[in-house]
Structure 1
Amino acid sequence: MRPTPPDERVLARRRLVGEQIRRVRKAHALTQHDVCGRSGIDIATYSRIEQGHSSPLLDTLIRIADAIGVDLAELVRR
């Protein structure tokens, strides 16, 4: 059985989280490649997360936060 696709509210929140990750990364003067090198996340996967096209696992969000040098909460704030 296929999982139910997320509703628009969830998709919108996913995009907001991606935008917040991008803002935090840029505020720390890091490129996507910098974060990927520090976290071990594939650049294509990371790009999809920032664009809101992919829903990252909690472990992945922790790795991103650690790579940027911020608390996890900073990545998911509105």
Structure 2
Amino acid sequence: MPFAPPPDWVIARRRAVGDRIREARLHANLTQERLAELAGMDRQAINRIEQGHSSPLLDNLIRIADALDVDLADLVR
């Protein structure tokens, strides 16, 4: 049985998390490529997360927060 798509409010929150990641990345003066390198991910994954097109795993959010030197809570508020 296929999963139902997430409700609109979940998608909106996912986009908000992506926006906060983008803001923190730009504040740190990092490109998506450099953030991906620091987080041990690929640039496309960072792009999909920032755009709200994919839901990042918790492990990846932890890696991104660490690479940006920000608290995880600040990205997911």
Give every structure 1 segment of 4 or more consecutive aligned residues whose post-TM-superposition deviation is greater than 6 Å.
Answer: none
C-alpha displacement at 1:24, in angstroms? 0.8
Count of residues paired in the alignment: 77
TM-score of the superposition, structure 1-length normalised?
Answer: 0.93
CA RMSD, Structure 1 to Structure 2 (Å): 0.8
Q: Percent identity?
A: 57
Matched residue type, 2:57: L
C-alpha displacement at 1:59, in angstroms? 0.5
The equivalences for 1:22-61 within 5 A come to 22-61=22-61
What SS does structure 2 have at the residue aligned with 1:22? helix
The residue number in structure 1 matching 2:66 is: 66
Matched residue type, 2:31: T
C-alpha displacement at 1:3, in angstroms? 1.1
How far apart in 2 are the matches of 1:30 and 1:44? Answer: 15
